[in-house]
Amino acid sequence: MSEFQNNLSFAEKMDLEDPLQTFRSSFLIPQNKGVDRTYFLGNSLGLQPKKTKAAIEKILHQWQEEGVESFFKGEDPWLDLHEKLQQGMAPIAGAKPVEISIMNQLSVNLHLMLVSFYQPAGKRKKILMEGKAFPSDQYAIRSYLEHLHLDPDEIIIELAAADETEVIPDAHIVQAIQDHGEELALVFLGGVNYYSGQLFDMAGITRAAHAVGAKVGFDLAHAIGNVSLQLHDWEVDFACWCSYKYLNGGPGAVAGVFVHERHLDDQGMKRLSGWWGYRKDERFLMKNRFSAAPDASAWQLSTPSVLNYACLGSSLELFAAAGWTRILEKQAKLVQWTHFLLQDSLAPQVQCITPSSRGCQLSLLFNEKGKEVYDQLFEKGFMVDWREPNVIRLAPVPLYNSYTEAYQFFKALGEILKALHLQ
């Protein structure tokens, strides 16, 4: 951007003017010999909020003092925690609270959503996916098709990128939807591609899929808490996400689903039912025939881990305090700044493959020596990640990363590239 300047003093000035600068102190930053590392791995595992430990201890204290009565008694009865998480997630997902359920993990939830939203009939059996989807999506869908005695190779249509950047133009996705319209039962894509960092046009894809009579779902693992979502207004049928990346819910954090409001009253909806999906007001009457909760909670199965609820809740409190709009504003500026700097570091042997439609993540493709660059960055205190076969991913996160960190990364990367004769 024309207003950016490539120097340290400009980075420090932006940090001083940053309205979210104080939120960095709300997180525990990994250190090396007492010095903070530069943590650009929010796309893999978000940092621990300092509030998380106290939130867990509160649950443990309730358990100690009240035992099972903690579900019903005290300042924060465990039975009410889910509603609080629904409220906290709603603005981040662009959804109504009733459309959200906080439950399980992502792949489990995807299987549950497939039961409800993949209903092959006649020649309408195909599922459209991106070829470079996160592997767990491939595993889940292929195994579910096999469970239905369908051949995944006949059912799945994989969208392949034209080159090693793995970027698939949105227009190509829409064209594929139109080409296979009469056969499509489901379009299922990642909101943000884990490898390239590409943000798909979810609104346009949803419109195109609905126009041909297909259902639409998204894996939002790399999108939730990262980019602006309007799942309700876009009329997405369903979405699944994990909460341990940009949502900072902790390793193996409780995940979430979105089910559009129009499906909640569908009496013919198929689902796998469980104890915790029963309507809350009558759950403890212990009836032996299922009566679904009137919201997305109907897809819950088992009693949730309130410890995991506490971890996610401590992070969502920070999102609420910072303000989702302000977080998105800083995200855009911080990533634009990082990309601006990288333009002065990269060379023909290295390119940023992430298109302008993106969130926090930037992916650097190396023609050679990429793993050596990654190793040296780590030694210098920069925590990024390596993805086979030849990509370094980094994700400056607005709640705990700074403009100065991005500048320091740019300087270190340039020195390493020069030393390895890649610049």
* Separation in Å, CA 387 to CA 16, 25, 221, 329, 342: 34, 30, 16, 28, 19
Domain range 8-36+323-419, CATH class: alpha beta
CA 17 from centroid of its chain's CA atoms: 28
- Token look-up 């939830």 returns 109
Residue 84 has pLDDT above 60, yes or no: yes
Q: Give the pLDDT mean for 320-328.
A: 98
Q: pTM value?
A: 0.96
Q: pLDDT value at position 347? A: 72
Q: pLDDT value at position 118? A: 98
104: which residues sit within 8 A by CB, 6+ positions away? 112, 254, 255, 301
Q: pLDDT value at position 135? A: 93
Tell me the fold of 55-320.
Aspartate Aminotransferase; domain 2 (3.40.640)
Confidence of residue 344 (pLDDT cuts 50, 70, 90): confident
Tokens linked to 54: 């106290």
Q: Give the pLDDT mean for 253-282.
A: 94
Judge whether 239 and 268 are in contact, CB under 8 Å.
Answer: no
For all residues of the chain together, what is the average pLDDT? 95
DSSP notation for 299-339: G--S---HHHHHHHHHHHHHHHHH-HHHHHHHHHHHHHHHH
Query: What is the SS3 assignment for 156?
Result: strand
Judge whether 3 and 379 are in contact, CB under 8 Å.
Answer: no
Confidence of residue 2 (pLDDT cuts 50, 70, 90): low
Residue 89 has pLDDT above 70, yes or no: yes
* Separation in Å, CA 67 to CA 21, 54, 55, 202, 302: 40, 19, 17, 45, 19
Amino acid in the structure at residue 286: M
323 φψ region: left (φ > 0), alpha (ψ -120 to 50), beta (else): left
Q: Give the pLDDT mean for 248-261.
A: 97
Q: pLDDT value at position 348? A: 78
Residue 342 has pLDDT above 80, yes or no: yes
Closest CA to 12 of 410, 412, 407, 409: 407
- Sorted by where each begins, the domain ranges of the chain are 8-36+323-419, 55-320
**H helices, E strands: number in the chain:** 13, 17
What digits encode the pLDDT tens for the residues 7-23? 999 999 999 999 999 99
**Distance of alpha carbon 204 from alpha carbon 130, whole angstroms:** 16
CA 364 from centroid of its chain's CA atoms: 20
What digits encode the pLDDT tens for the residues 191-202? 999 999 999 999
Find the angle CA(215)-CA(298)-CA(235) to the nearest 5 degrees: 30
